[in-house]
Homo-oligomer: A and B are copies of this chain.
Amino acid sequence: MTIKDIARLSGYSLGTVSRVLNNHPDVSETARRRVLEVVKEQGFEPNSNARHLKMRNPSSVAVLVKGSQNLLFLDILERIQARFELSGEEVYVAYLDEDEDEVKYAISLSKQRRPKGFLFLGGDMEFFKREFDQIDVPCVLLTNNAESLGAGNLSSFSTDDGTAAEEVMDYLYSCGHENIGVIGGNLSIDQISYGRLKGVKRSAKNHGQSFELGKQYEPCRFSMAEGYEAAKRLLERNPGITALFALGDVIALGAMRAAADMGLSIPGDISIVGFDGTASSEYSIPRLTTVKQDTEQLADRGVRTLLQSIHYELPTVHEYVPYKLIKRESVAELSA
């Protein structure tokens, strides 16, 4: 069943059928009705390969989600889709693996589907540095700051990770904690954890405290299992730690379990703080104190900016979206 069959069945030509299918204005009402009728009764669906092969002009907007297991992104994505729908934009979303090269993927997609723009949900600056210059449509990166890249077609909205992490540490110090452990991420400058770690060190310095990577930091990937192991390793290596700052909620959840298994009560014996503000942090026992990233604003401003730069010539922007340290039940004040 092709457009040709529809043409034959409806008594119109190939061209007319195509025009009806694409909502071109210059088709008679009679023709439109008749063609649609046949299309419906045959359950016809145009072949998108042929369509994209011909169409030189851009169609939809593409959203690239980095890490299909990342709950934070899934939250943001939901709202992004609603937003685009409101604007009547067609959206193509692809879920990439956590380590996949999103820029390479975008380049390839550019050739196949010619999207009007890209919205990156998370990204590795390493990849952007390497070949983002091969992409020429407007783009927006969410949750990472892309200012240093200096690309003319890439805006970004993110949380000020450094300041947020600093605030977490300030809070912990103000509660009387001094030996604070940090877990999660790694030391690579291109990774999201890098900025958070910088904030940690800044706060330590401001409080005249030392922060020694070797004694107080343990890297790990973003999962409960790895958070569990990392917390355990760090706590065993440095039993004097009274508070743990996990650079992600899932890591924090794993850490809470590790502490419990070591016979430590939370927050009685050890305080724990997360990062992200996902649903799990709200329902855990005890409720997790965490940095809530503003997913609504991230989504809204990301979508608005992308749409605007598709339609007008605009300078790129790189802005922080407000975050909020939500104090819940997993942190205790240390009595002096």
Q: Which residues of A contact B (CB under 8 A)?
A: 45, 47-50, 52-53, 68-69, 71, 74, 93, 95, 108, 111-112, 223-225, 228, 253-254, 256-257, 260, 266, 279-280, 282-287
A279/B95 in contact, CB under 8 A: no
Q: Chain copies in the assembly? A: 2
Least distance between A232 CB and chain B CB atoms (Å): 12
A225/B279 in contact, CB under 8 A: yes
18 A-B contacts (beta carbon < 8 Å): A45-B108, A45-B111, A47-B53, A47-B112, A49-B52, A68-B68, A68-B74, A68-B95, A69-B74, A95-B95, A224-B279, A225-B279, A256-B285, A257-B284, A280-B280, A284-B284, A284-B285, A285-B285
C-alpha spacing A253/B71, complex, angstroms: 16
Q: Which of B45, B53, B228 contacts A50 (CB 8 A)?
A: B53
Which chain B residues lie closer than 8 Å to A68 at the CB level?
Answer: 68, 74, 95
A260/B280 in contact, CB under 8 A: no
A283/B228 in contact, CB under 8 A: yes
Which chain B residues lie closer than 8 Å to A112 at the CB level?
Answer: 47-49
Which chain B residues lie closer than 8 Å to A71 at the CB level?
Answer: 69
B53/A280 in contact, CB under 8 A: no
Using A253-B283, A257-B287, A285-B286 as known contacts, list a sample of 11 further A-B pairs with CB atoms less than 8 Å apart, ordered by residue number in A.
A49-B52, A49-B112, A68-B68, A93-B95, A224-B279, A253-B280, A257-B283, A257-B285, A260-B285, A284-B284, A284-B285
C-alpha spacing A282/B285, complex, angstroms: 13
C-alpha spacing A257/B287, complex, angstroms: 9
B53/A49 in contact, CB under 8 A: yes
Most B C-beta atoms less than 10 A away, residue of A71, A254, A280: A280
Of all chain B residues, the one with the shortest Cβ separation from A44 is B111
Of all chain B residues, the one with the shortest Cβ separation from A69 is B74
A224/B53 in contact, CB under 8 A: no
Which chain B residues lie closer than 8 Å to A69 at the CB level?
Answer: 71, 74
C-alpha spacing A279/B253, complex, angstroms: 11
Q: Which of B53, B95, B111, B286 contacts A53 (CB 8 A)?
A: B53
Which chain B residues lie closer than 8 Å to A287 at the CB level?
Answer: 257
Which chain B residues lie closer than 8 Å to A256 at the CB level?
Answer: 283, 285
C-alpha spacing A160/B258, complex, angstroms: 33
Which chain B residues lie closer than 8 Å to A254 at the CB level?
Answer: 283
C-alpha spacing A285/B260, complex, angstroms: 8
Least distance between A21 CB and chain B CB atoms (Å): 15
Of all chain B residues, the one with the shortest Cβ separation from A224 is B283
Least distance between A113 CB and chain B CB atoms (Å): 8
Cβ-closest 3 pairs across A and B: A257-B283, A49-B53, A49-B49
C-alpha spacing A48/B112, complex, angstroms: 7
C-alpha spacing A52/B51, complex, angstroms: 12
Of all chain B residues, the one with the shortest Cβ separation from A97 is B81
A280/B52 in contact, CB under 8 A: no
